[in-house]
Every structure is written in structure tokens, then in C-alpha cells.
Amino acid sequence: MAINAFIGIRNTDGTVDYIEDERDGEPSGIGIDLYRYGSERAVRQLIDFGGVIRVRPVPFDIRPLLRADFEATATDAERWAVRRVYTVPSGKKTFHDVPFDSFTALHGMADWLYLYTPHVGWEVLCDPEISDDGWLSLSDALADQLNAMPPERRTDILQAAEDAGLRA
């Protein structure tokens, strides 16, 4: 069964732009993949792409393709390569300028909410008994999830996190 998530970015006015991820929404899945999106620009490109079925890890360095004028100057082949490396689209739309409280209210509709705040990084909305305000850093959310699973399941997840540069 799919564990869906919402992936958002906080705007300077406090609103949130977000998309829905329809599968593998746990910190040990999409959370690790999202950590690779470590800049505001990369996260905005992901959000602008629209809803996703799966955010894939980046298998090679495509930063040269993400030049400032990429959308205006990229070839169709470059656009296709960037979009397919990053995501598999679901056909759903991106939601823009949603009030922060409305975004957090989605926690009842999705098991996980991921929010990228520029100059802060990734945070995950979790159950209040885990965190006073419900928000944890991505690394703390992953560590909490790993602590709850049997040790034999942790090895591959820890390796994937390490490959992404995420410490749990």
C-alpha cells in the first residue's frame, strides 16, 4: 500500500507551494531522495514540475544542465533527461501560495508532510508525541523511523542515506 506525502516549499511571504507524492512517502524512502534537493532552486524546480509518483535519486551530476537559463535554452533531450532523472509525474498539479496552516492541515490526508524552508532545510511534520511542535529535521525523522524498525531492515536504508549525504 502506498504511503503518500505532500512536499512543499515555504515562500518568503509564509505561504507554501506544494505537490503530492503518491508512493513511498516515508523518511526512509522519499525523505532520503528529497535530501538531494539541497537548494531552493532545485526544490522549486521539483515543485514546479507538478505532482510526482516517485522522486528518484539523482544517479549522476546534472547540475550543469540546471543553468539559470535552462528553461529558455535547453534542448528537448536535456529537458527530458532532467525531468526523468528527478521525477516520475503523476499528472497532478502544483498548488501555489497556500497558507501555512492549510498546508499543515493536510497531515490528516497524508502520512508525511515535507517542507523545505530556504536557509533552514528540510523538515518533516510528524506526530506531536515525537516533537513539541510536530516538526522534526529530516535527519531526526529518519532516525526516529529507523529506531522503530528491526535492525535487519536498517542496513540498506542507512547506506542509501549515507549515499545521499544524510546522517541519521
Position 14 scores a pLDDT of: 95
Domain extent for 28: 5-164
Position 68 scores a pLDDT of: 67
Looking at the structure of the chain, the number of domains it has is 1
Q: Any idea what the Cα angle at residue 47 is, between residues 91 and 85, rounded to 5°?
A: 75
Bridge partners (DSSP) of residue 20 are: 6
pLDDT per residue rounded down to tens, the chain (168 residues): 456 789 999 999 999 999 887 766 888 888 888 888 888 988 888 887 766 555 554 444 455 555 667 667 777 766 655 555 544 445 567 889 999 999 999 887 888 899 999 999 999 997 655 556 688 999 999 998 899 888 888 888 888 888 878 887
Q: Which residues of 102-130 are buried (b: 16+ CB within 10 A; e: fewer)?
A: ebbebeeebebbbbbbeeeebbbbbeeee
Are the beta carbons of 100 and 59 closer than 8 angstroms?
Answer: no
Position 72 scores a pLDDT of: 75
Position 59 scores a pLDDT of: 43
- Say how far apart CA 5 and CA 22 lie, in whole Å: 7
Is the overall model pTM greater than 0.85, yes or no? no
Q: Mark out the alpha helices in the chain (DSSP H runs).
A: 32-35, 40-49, 70-73, 76-86, 100-104, 138-147, 151-164
- Mind spelling out the 3-state secondary structure of 125-145? ECCCCCCCCCEEEHHHHHHHH
- Say how far apart CA 90 and CA 50 lie, in whole Å: 8
Q: Mark out the alpha helices in 11-95 (DSSP H runs).
A: 32-35, 40-49, 70-73, 76-86
Q: And the C-alpha cell for 116? A: 523545505
